[in-house]
Structure 1
């Protein structure tokens, strides 16, 4: 089995749909029967709670410190092909505790050695900062996926993140690539959303995914039920958007490897089959 493709989902600005994107792309990959691991590297632990209540003596920080292997921290989820490495309250102190540690930027890269051959995709939900935890994620990753909210300061924050990415590429991970930019919380009734989208697409061209993630009530409700949007309401606009985004991502990966896209399992088909899917209704309102 080949090693997993490791994708860091990052933006140093909070509230841009970073965790929502990490959780739901991971769920859609799992629904398409890709063995997927989601690593919660955000001290807030929202990705962990978005997949249900987590009760475990070990969390990701235990593996970063070498107290256990990352494989020992892996938990199952409601989706057969999706596993989780949860965050814990001890992750809050990582920025201070790791600062004088040997190879502090490579803790996650080293920890991943125990699991990287077990999965096809590993997604890392990064902290909303450019500190040592995010640097660990970028050092370990093959690529970075950037959720970008359609708002006034979006490009300014993106520029800072890309500067950090260049620094990591220059000194720690020369193979780090930009997976793409995904526009989130899009409301096309809003002039600002349309203006920001036009500017981002003008600057970054094909590196911006065609799929937009809309503002959607069901999408914002799902985490409070401990479910990805596929299991909460697969018919919602948010679920449809993340299925489309994941299909776009899988198609790009297949084309880069010279694989026919017709051989790729459609996430939507896999997601709608199976008795484990739970629906919270069909409300497609936007917020």
Structure 2
């Protein structure tokens, strides 16, 4: 008779979590939160049911979606309790039509400490804390998107363990690209609990409109970092250009870029303002149109990549 089992390795629910996407880079300021919130909003507007999970103690998703300091902003308390004690997740419903949100914020620092302590006794359980919390509700959604903190290995690992895909935003400078070294570490750290995890791609962000040579150098550097010619398709064709004016305007208003663009497009013409027939809109830069188009292109390419991978996987099974 075999000896009794004293430990059961926790299992990740791969079916429930098959469309969980984590945005991850080891460096801050590379448009992770901007991409997470805007891609979620665009998907929701196109009819997908989306859950956006703010895993960052800074909680900046609240600023992008305009719920900072409102009653729905618990600053990450529910998420921290789910990670630390196994409490059920309770998303905030319909922050936008079809878009639910699990807020982040300062309480997540408690979760980091709790998971670090748990890892000494139950390392697999600590890694799977977010996967365990998301699995009961992930099936309600077509996409689950996680905005990861840049410098928190514990929360990054929990996100990677819960995900099917990693999406990596980066700027073109060498310092930002160095942050991608965290990706290999996260992949290696969760192979024991999540062998399905894969890289969806790298998105260049904050790109100068006319910086063709810089873009080419950055693409070549990224491809080389991920294995040379075999990784030629790792970089998204679509990228997000730099616009400080648009970035400031969306944060001030608490809107997404395509929402800001709608406001700009519906605003008065310049000659109506000159004639005194209308008032100029405050903080409504015309660059919003270009940035909104960039984000839409990234969103469409993301869906195409996922759909292609799922089709190939189904054909192979």
> Shorter-normalised TM-score: what interval?
0.7 to 0.9
Q: Is the 8 A contact 2:157 2:190 kept in 1?
A: no
**Secondary structure of 1:209's aligned partner:** coil
Partner of 1:172: 193
Tell me the alpha carbon deviations over residues 107-148 of structure 1, each in whole angstroms, 9 at most, x when there is no partner.
111101221110010000001125111110000000100001
More displaced stretch, 50-59 vs 126-135: 50-59
1:201 deviates by: 4.5
Task: Pick one of 100, 109, 121 that aligns with 2:131.
Answer: 109
- TM-score, normalized by length of structure 2? 0.74
Larger radius of gyration, structure 1 or 2?
A: 2
- Unpaired stretches in structure 1, ≥5 consecutive residues: 260-287
Task: Pick one of 210, 232, 244 that aligns with 1:189.
Answer: 210
Partner of 1:8: 22
Write the mapping of 1:224-239 to structure 2, written as runs, cut at 5 A: 224-234=252-262, 236-239=289-292
C-alpha distance in structure 2 between counterparts of 1:230 and 1:241, whole Å: 10
**Secondary structure of 1:147's aligned partner:** strand
Task: Pick one of 228, 235, 242 that aligns with 1:208.
Answer: 235
Q: Is the 8 A contact 1:130 1:164 kept in 2?
A: no
C-alpha distance in structure 2 between counterparts of 1:258 and 1:93, whole Å: 40
Tell me the alpha carbon deviations over residues 183-238 of structure 1, each in whole angstroms, 9 at most, x when there is no partner.
00011434544422343346431111100100022144212322121222246211
Partner of 2:303: 250
C-alpha distance in structure 1 between counterparts of 2:219 and 2:71, whole Å: 40
- Unpaired stretches in structure 2, ≥5 consecutive residues: 1-14, 263-287, 313-317
Partner of 1:134: 156
- TM-score, normalized by length of structure 1? 0.81
Q: Is the 8 A contact 1:40 1:86 kept in 2?
A: yes
C-alpha distance in structure 2 between counterparts of 1:97 and 1:68, whole Å: 14
2:123 is equivalent to residue 95 of structure 1: no
Task: Pick one of 250, 255, 269 that aligns with 1:222.
Answer: 250
1:170 deviates by: 2.8
Q: Is the 8 A contact 1:105 1:139 kept in 2?
A: yes
2:66 is equivalent to residue 52 of structure 1: yes
**Superposition RMSD in Å:** 2.1
C-alpha distance in structure 1 between counterparts of 2:116 and 2:22, whole Å: 21
**Secondary structure of 1:171's aligned partner:** coil
Tell me the alpha carbon deviations over residues 60-79 of structure 1, each in whole angstroms, 9 at most, x when there is no partner.
11221236311x2x113452
**Secondary structure of 2:107's aligned partner:** helix
In the comparison of the two structures, how many residue pairs are matched? 255
**1:163 and 1:253, CA in 2 relative to 1: closer, same or farther beyond 3 A?**
closer
2:290 is equivalent to residue 241 of structure 1: no
